Amino acid sequence: MKPKLEIVITHWREPWVVCEKMFQMLDVQRAMTREECAVTLVQDGQISKMNAAMLMRRYPFVQRVIQVPEGGVSAARNAGMDEAFGEWIMFCDCDDMLYSADSLRLILDAIRDNEGRADLIWGPIVIENRDRAGRYARTIEGWNLTFIHGKIWRKSWLKEKKIRFLDGLAYSEDSLFNAVAGMELRPERVKEIPEPIYMWCLRAGSCTSDRKNDARNREHIARHRAVLPRIALERKPEEAAAKAWRGICDACVEFRAGKIPDEKREALAEYYTRELIRPWEEPIRRMDPEERAKILAISMEGAERMYGFRERVNVWRWMAKMKKKYGGAADDPTERAEPDAGAEADAGGAGAEP
């Protein structure tokens, strides 16, 4: 009989002292039954400080331990997802924990209440951190695309949409997974659990907090940013390019809003919507893949690119060229000047967007 929920816990070299709380909290769950919930532990690599046989004897709800060649957290989660036989799947890190003894009850109730009506069920997570004085601080994080934690996925939907973690990515892999899943999710099939269900424990020496990993983490974030436009263009080319173009325009509105009087900000936002977003919906659909990729590349470089006047003008001029090619209805915004933007215009040598 398939369990309703399968919890996939990945373990690398974390010592038992930081992992014990995860299994202790699972042990006290009021809704923990083998018929409704199974736990699969995936050990990443041969070097492990966790005795699998002892673990399964001590905690009977751990039904399987999978040993995989050391390949990073993404490969380990993929292996767990491939082996999972539950209808729903939840990914956990071995050094975190469920938030309370009622977490599983809340999750299973939500699964039953939304049978056939959801592909993703999520609940808030509590982030536990320690300040410089050694004191613990906890904050609640609601809906986000950063963490995989606190999210329960319908396994058949992940398989149908071919959503997996990117092998080799050991930092920001959660964000990439969520971003790709977000391309396929329908809002009406995302359901919320109002109470916290998971605690993310930020500890010294972890991948996230250890400053020695900063250079590697930046490299992984760069890889994430590089691969996401390609994935988006493969899955949802028109929507991805249109969303990126809106993001570019929003970045400009945000930047300009800090340099103009309050009474002009609403008019500025209306201008971008009227002249630069809506008229481009149809031309973007007719762009070739390379041109759509350029829009996404500009967007992925971040709002900082749009903070320089010359950079904004270059983007507008390229879009004006695309307008001429595809018949967009918007005017070239570089041909207009804002009365109180003279300083920027002097610095850039061209007109500014309204």
Instruction: Kindly state the DSSP code that residue 120 receives in the 8-state scheme.
Output: E
* pLDDT confidence bin for 39, thresholds 50/70/90: very high
Q: Which of 220-224, 232-236, 274-278, 336-340 is the least confident region?
A: 336-340
**Rounded Cα distance, 269 and 256, in Å:** 10
* pLDDT confidence bin for 348, thresholds 50/70/90: very low
pLDDT in tens, 54-86: 888 888 888 889 988 888 899 999 999 999 999
pLDDT value at position 259?
A: 64
Q: Which residues contact 295 (CB under 8 A, 6 or more apart)?
A: 241, 244, 245, 248, 284, 287
- 287 or 88, which is more confident: 88
Helix 237-257 vs helix 289-300: crossing angle, to nearest 10: 40
Single-letter amino acid code for the residue at 23: F
**Rounded Cα distance, 89 and 158, in Å:** 10
Kindly report the backbone phi and psi dihedral angles of residue 163, in degrees, each rounded to the nearest multiple of 5, phi listed first: -100, 120
**Rounded Cα distance, 88 and 104, in Å:** 12
**Tokens describing residue 254:** 């945000």
Q: Tell me what the mean pLDDT of segment 264-284 comes to.
A: 73
- 43 or 350, which is more confident: 43
pLDDT value at position 74?
A: 93
pLDDT in tens, 124-180: 999 988 766 667 778 888 888 788 999 999 999 999 999 999 988 877 889 889 989
**Tokens describing residue 80:** 């767990």
Share of the chain above pLDDT 70, in %: 75
Q: Tell me what the mean pLDDT of segment 26-54 comes to.
A: 81
- What average pLDDT is seen over the chain? 79
pLDDT value at position 332?
A: 42
* pLDDT greater than 60 at residue 34: yes
What is the domain partition of the chain in residue ranges?
Answer: 5-211, 236-348
What fold does the segment set 5-211 form as a domain?
A: Spore Coat Polysaccharide Biosynthesis Protein SpsA; Chain A (3.90.550)
**Rounded Cα distance, 94 and 324, in Å:** 55
Q: Minimal CA–CA distance to 276: which of 348, 354, 350, 341? A: 354
**Tokens describing residue 215:** 């250079």
333 forms beta bridges with none
Considering 7-16, 233-242, 295-304, the range whose residues carry the highest mean pLDDT is 7-16
- The CB density around residue 112, as the number of other CB atoms within 10 Å, is 10
- 315 or 347, which is more confident: 315
Of all helices (H) and strands (E), which one includes residue 256?
helix 237-257
- 264 or 119, which is more confident: 119
pLDDT value at position 204?
A: 62
Q: Is 334 helix (H, G, I), strand (E, B) or coil?
A: helix
Q: Which residues contact 5 (CB under 8 A, 6 or more apart)?
A: 36, 37, 38, 86, 87, 88, 89, 90, 104, 107, 108, 111, 152
> Which class for 135: exposed (0-12), middle (13-18), buried (19 or more C-beta within 10 A)?
exposed
pLDDT value at position 224?
A: 73
